[in-house]
Amino acid sequence: MKVITILVYIVLISCNIYSFSGASISNDVKSFSVDYINSQATNSPSSLNQSITDNLQTLILNQTNLSLQEKSIADLNFKGTIIKYEIKPIAITSNETTAKNRLTINLKLEYVNNKNKDLNYTTTFTRYRDFDSSINFSDVELVLIEEITKELAEDIFNKAFVNW
């Protein structure tokens, strides 16, 4: 029984049907592109666009055998826009002061699979981080952005390749 399991596993790995990341990618898909993520959120820092773009490209490169290509020749294309970058209070104390704030980032993403149009989608991904209101936001903003953009990249990866 163990021998059969090992043989099945080897066949799946060699055919690029399954990987340790859980990604399921068709054999005919060889490349991807990630358009530079734009922002429609007026108050988002300029580094946010690059952070999301870089995190998504790096995750796909590290977790798959796909090569990064120009959009015009890539098998898979990712195009996104930051539609919300918001800080708002979430916990009010008894003396009506804010105890915690929340940074929320929403990203609208279009995924185009040029090999299988049935897998195309456009959806919005949302992630947030809470932080104490006693902390100066500018002191934690870059750390919060990095954490959120990594999670957004993982969500996008999972929707495109793990089919959740």
Q: What is the pLDDT of residues 22-73, one digit of tens each?
A: 677 888 999 999 999 999 998 999 889 999 999 999 999 999 999 999 888 9
Is 60 exceeded by the pLDDT of residue 138? yes
Virtual torsion, Cα 57, 58, 59, 60, nearest 10 deg: 50
Answer with the residue of higher pLDDT: 108 or 135.
108
Rounded to an integer, the average pLDDT of 82-101 is 83
The percentage of the chain sitting over the pLDDT mark of 90, rounded to a whole number, equals 66
Prediction pTM value: 0.82
pLDDT value of residue 71: 81
First to last CA, the chain: 30
At residue 12, does pLDDT exceed 60?
Answer: no
Identify the CATH class of 28-162. alpha beta
Instruction: Report the range of poorest mean pLDDT among 15-24, 126-135, 143-152.
Output: 15-24
Q: Where are the domains of the chain?
A: 28-162
Which is more confidently placed, 163 or 14? 163
Q: What is the pLDDT of residue 99?
A: 83
Flag whether pLDDT at 164 surpasses 60: no
In DSSP notation, 86-110 reads: EEEEEEE-TTS-EEEEEEEEEEEEE
Count Cβ atoms below 10 Å from residue 137 Cβ, excluding itself. Answer: 12
